[in-house]
Amino acid sequence: MRIGFYAPLKPPDHPAPSGDRRVARLFMAALRGMGHDIELLSDLRSFNRDGDTAHEAATANAAATTVDSLSRSWLQDIRRKPDLLFTYHVYHKAADYIGPALKQRFGLPYVIAEASDSPRRREGAWAKGYAQAMQALSAADALLAITRYDLPPLIACAGTRVQYFAPFIDPAPFTAAATRRQQHRNALGAQFGLPPDRPWLLAVGMMRSGDKLASFQRLAETLPLVAEADWHAVLVGDGPEHQAVQTAFAPLGNRITLTGQLDADSLAAFYAASDLYVWPAVNEAYGMALLEAQAAGLPVLSVDTRGVPDIVAHGKTGWLTADDQPQTLATALRNLLTDPALRLRMAAAAPLRVARDLSMSAAQKRLQTLFTQLGLPA
């Protein structure tokens, strides 16, 4: 099957890494792995950070040009016309102006993965983007809610066209790293001067303003509350707020190691070599790093918020606190540090759950079921 793919928030070939780019690439890889021919329809980024009306109008005009160009191409060579339009991530700040127009012109099936409805944006700076996002949701034949948190508002506006579609990753590089845990621990300990006899607490994130910085700062407020415990924290990531993160953790001195940004292999090695992944998840959609950690057999301490419970099974593959306040997190962290047997049980259960429910192969089975429901070819 030929699939036209589009990601309005951030195209999969965008140079800046992010969770959103990562998930777009994962969907493309999953579809290609099923044997489908994937064409990226456009790299037009509709993201409107501040609700600028001129920006929204320019995006709409650029999208119209793209739609006209694609339409001419498909009419000239019918073999180029896709069997399905697949858009990843639509909301009021990143509306899809391309998918609905192509569906209207060609009558193509149209699927949106990760959409959201925020009715309070019906008026105000993002009103035009909200209206276009709602037009896309109305046009879609199926809407895939990546978290259960997003289900109620989507069902309210789209009914039975909405279905839950759990987050996923390709666990292979992380499970492979887990088989070499001790080798990775020895090598990383030597490279970064990490104490081999202390539990390593790992946190991974882009160091940018907003929720990511807030999560790092919340962790910096939490760790001093368990200063009496035996641990060493490793912070992986980089970005424009690197200095702010470094300043926040400075009072903890040599109990903190900042590695900077790591390549994929080194990151998988750190997941495998560490003892506990700790992330306050301030306003986190669901957290791809939480999923990667579990795939490598690393139990997670995080917060029961938004989509985090979709990927962390409380008490089984990790521990979720009721809120992200430092004292609450510190209490849970202290308990986990003093219960290595519980951490080991979680470490064993986490990759099994990822493989069963949150892996690329599990996602491909769900996609095949969706395509059958839509009457599309196998």
In a domain? residue 37: yes
Of 59, 49, 50, 47, nearest to 21 by C-alpha is: 47
In a domain? residue 254: yes
Whether 127 and 193 share a structural domain: no
Of 84, 86, 95, nearest to 59 by C-alpha is: 95
pLDDT at 122: 86
- Mean pLDDT per 10-residue interval, the chain, length 378 residues: 97 90 96 97 96 95 98 94 97 97 97 89 91 96 95 92 96 98 98 97 96 97 97 97 98 97 96 98 93 98 96 98 97 97 98 98 97 90
Q: Could you give the strand order of the β-sheet that contains 162-164, starting from the edge strand earlier in sequence? A: 37-40, 2-6, 84-90, 110-115, 142-145, 162-164
Angle subtended at Cα 341 by Cα 336 and Cα 343, rounded to the nearest 5 degrees = 45
Instruction: Give the number of domains in the chain.
Output: 2
Whether 156 and 297 share a structural domain: no
Residue-by-residue DSSP string for 145-192 = ESSGGGHHHHHHHHGGGEEE----B--HHHHHHHTTHHHHHHHHHHHH
- CATH (domain of 113): 3.40.50.2000
Whether 303 and 325 share a structural domain: yes
pLDDT at 378: 65
Whether 110 and 50 share a structural domain: yes
In a domain? residue 74: yes
Of 244, 318, 227, nearest to 279 by C-alpha is: 318
pLDDT at 118: 83
In a domain? residue 341: yes
In a domain? residue 378: no
Range of the domain at 305: 172-357
Of 311, 353, 315, nearest to 336 by C-alpha is: 315
In a domain? residue 243: yes
Whether 126 and 253 share a structural domain: no
In a domain? residue 285: yes
H-helix segments, 34-180: 53-76, 99-106, 127-139, 151-158, 172-178
Whether 126 and 177 share a structural domain: no
What is the number of residues in the chain? 378
Query: Do the beta carbons of residue 370 and residue 142 sit within 8 Å?
Result: yes
pLDDT at 292: 97
How far lies 205's CA from each of 90, 208, 287, 343, in Å? 23, 9, 9, 22
